[in-house]
Amino acid sequence: MFAFGYCLGWFSLMLPKLQSPTETSLTFVLTLNDGSWMAGLTALGAGFGSIAFGVLADRIGRKACLYILAIPLIASWIMVYYTYTVNYLLGSRFVVGLSTGGAFVIIPLFIGEISDPKIRGCLSSFFSLSFYIGAIFGYVTTPRLSYHLLALVGVALGVIYLISQMIFPETPMYLLQCGQESRAMESLKFYRNYQPTHGDTIKEFEHEFDSMKEAVNEQTCNKEHLTWRDFCNKRARRAFGNGFVLMLLNVFCGASAMLHFTASIFDAARTPIHRDTNSLIVGCIQVTGVYIATILVDTFGRKPLLIFSAGATCIGMTMLGAYDFLLQNTYVNMSEFSAWLPLANVCIIMFVVNVGLMPIPFVMLVELMPPKIRAEATSACLVVYEILCFILLKMFPIISAAFGFAVPMWFFAIICLLGSIYVACFIKETKGMLINDENI
C-alpha cells in the first residue's frame, strides 16, 4: 500500500507538470482529456483486478496473490520510464490499477484471516495508513527528483515489497481449506506470536485453532452447495445493499477526486502557497487522520466514526464549494482568505474523511458479508466501487473545468449528508464480531 500511495502522490503532482508546456519533462503535453483518462483508467483497471484476484484468492491462495500484486506494479513504472507517447502513460495507469484492485481484495481478506478480532479494525486501518504515508513520500520526491528517477524509485518499491513478502506464511484459514492442518497450526502460531509459557496460553490457542477449524469446515461444506439463493436471501441482500452504499459513500464523499487532483484544486483556489507545499501538508493531515482512526476504530466502533466523518465532510465540502463559488462567480474580494482558507478547508476535510469514510467502509465490507459468499460478494462490491471511481475520476476534471469546483463539492456534500443518515438507520455495528459470525 505504501507503493500504491507513492503512485498516487506522483500522479497528483506530476499531472499539472505534464499538462504545462513549460514544466513537462516529456516531448509532448497532456491535455485535460488525457489527464482525466489517466485518472479514470486506474479505476477501470482496478475493477478488472478486483474480479481477477477475487477468483484467484481461493484458487491459488492469499500468499501467491500477494506475490502477483507486484508484477503489474513494477510493469507500470517500466512503462512510465520508457514513455514516448501518451498511450504509454495511459497503459501504465491501467496496469497499476490491476494491482491496486487486487490489493483491495487480497489485503483486507488477508488481514481479516490472520488477525485477532480485538485488533482487526486497527490492523485493517493500517491498510489506509500505509497508503497515505506512501502518498507523502510521493509528494516529497516528485518535485525534487527527475521524471525517470521517480520511475526507478517506483520499480524499487515493487521489488522491496516482493522480497518482504517472503517472511509471511499463508493464512491459517486458507491452509485449513486446503486440508493442511499442521501448516495451518504453524501459521496461526506465527501470527499469534504463540509462546506456550503456561497452561492457560496453550488451552486458549488450542481453543482458537479448534474454533477456526470448525468454522472453515462448515464454510467449506457450505461452499460445495453454493447456489444463487445464497446471494439472494434476506441477509445477503441486506449485506449487498449496505456494501454498495458504503462503496458509494466512500467514492462520492469526494476524497478520491481531491487525492488525485490535489494540486489542480489548489491552483484553482489561487492560493499563494505553492501547490507542492499544499499537497505535502494535506498528505501529513491524511496520515494523522488515519492514524487516529487506527486508535479509535476498535474503541468507539465503526458506526459512530462513519457518522461523524460523513457529517463533518458534508460541512467541509459545503464551505469549500462556497469559497470557489464566491471566487469564480462574484466580485467578492477573497484575496485575504486565499492564503489560508483553501488549505485549512482541504486539511479539515481530508482529516475527517480519513478518520472514517476512507478506511472504515473497507473494514466493514469484509465484516458485513456472510461467510459463505464473502469472497464473491466482496469482489462484487469492489467492482461497483471501481466503476464508480472511474466515473468520478473521469468526469471530475471535465465538470470542474466547465462549471467550477463548487458544483462537484456541493454534490459531495449532499452524498455525505444522505450517507450519514443511511449509516445511522440501517447499518449495524460490527466492532468485536468474529469474522465468521453468522449473525452480523
Q: In the structure, what pLDDT confidence band is assigned to residue 153 with cuts at 50, 70 and 90?
A: very high
User: What pLDDT score was predicted for residue 199?
Assistant: 60
Residues 6+ positions from 415 with CB-CB distance below 8 Å? 248, 249, 252, 253, 254
Which is more confident, 294 or 184? Answer: 184
Q: Is residue 107 predicted with pLDDT exceeding 60?
A: yes
Q: Is residue 149 predicted with pLDDT exceeding 70?
A: yes
Percent of the chain scoring above 90 in pLDDT: 31
282 exposure class (CB count in 10 Å sphere: 0-12, 13-18, 19+): buried
Residue type present at position 44 = L
CA pair distance 351, 293, nearest whole angstrom: 10
- List the end-to-end C-alpha distance of the chain, in Å, as a whole number: 28
Rank 39-48, 55-64, 69-78, 102-111 by mean pLDDT and report only the highest. 69-78
User: What pLDDT score was predicted for residue 253?
Assistant: 93
Q: Is residue 436 predicted with pLDDT exceeding 60?
A: no
Instruction: Dump the DSSP string for 62-107.
Output: HHHHHHHTHHHHHHHHHHHHT--SHHHHHHHHHHHHHHHHHHHHHH
User: What pLDDT score was predicted for residue 340?
Assistant: 81
Tell me: the pLDDT tens digits for 354-386?
A: 888 887 887 788 788 887 777 778 778 878 888
Which is more confident, 68 or 291? Answer: 68
Q: Is residue 438 predicted with pLDDT exceeding 60?
A: no
| Helices 2-18, 70-81: crossing angle, 10 deg rounding | 20
User: What pLDDT score was predicted for residue 64?
Assistant: 93
Show the CA angle centred on residue 98, arms to residues 92 and 104, nearest 5°: 130
User: What pLDDT score was predicted for residue 72?
Assistant: 95
Long-range residue pairs from 217-221, CB within 8 A, at least 24 positions apart, any chain: 217/176, 219/177, 219/371, 219/372, 219/436, 220/177
Among 225, 240, 178, which residue's Cα sits nearest to residue 376?
240
Q: Is residue 347 predicted with pLDDT exceeding 70?
A: yes
When mean pLDDT is compared across 68-77, 123-132, 241-250, 304-313, the lowest value belongs to 123-132
Show the CA angle centred on residue 342, arms to residues 336 and 343, nearest 5°: 110
The sign of the torsion formed by the CA atoms of 126, 385, 261, 337 equals negative
Tell me: the pLDDT tens digits for 37-52?
A: 998 999 899 889 888 8
User: What pLDDT score was predicted for residue 435?
Assistant: 54
Q: Is residue 296 predicted with pLDDT exceeding 60?
A: yes
Number of C-beta neighbours around residue 402 at 10 A: 8
Domains of the chain and any CATH numbers: 2-175+235-426 (1.20.1250.20)
Among 435, 419, 437, which residue's Cα sits nearest to residue 427?
419
Instruction: Dump the DSSP string for 309-335.
Output: HHHHHHHHHHHHHHHHHHHHHS----H
Tell me: the pLDDT tens digits for 195-253?
A: 776 666 778 788 888 888 887 777 766 665 667 887 888 888 888 899 999 999 999 99
**Pair 346, 320: CB distance under 8 Å:** yes
Name the grid cell of 192: 499469534
Percent of the chain scoring above 70 in pLDDT: 94
Q: Is residue 77 predicted with pLDDT exceeding 80?
A: yes
Q: Is residue 60 predicted with pLDDT exceeding 80?
A: yes
| Region class of 297: left (phi > 0), else alpha (psi between -120 and 50), else beta | alpha
Among 250, 262, 251, which residue's Cα sits nearest to residue 397?
262
Q: In the structure, what pLDDT confidence band is assigned to residue 388 with cuts at 50, 70 and 90?
A: very high
Among 218, 177, 243, 228, which residue's Cα sits nearest to residue 377?
243
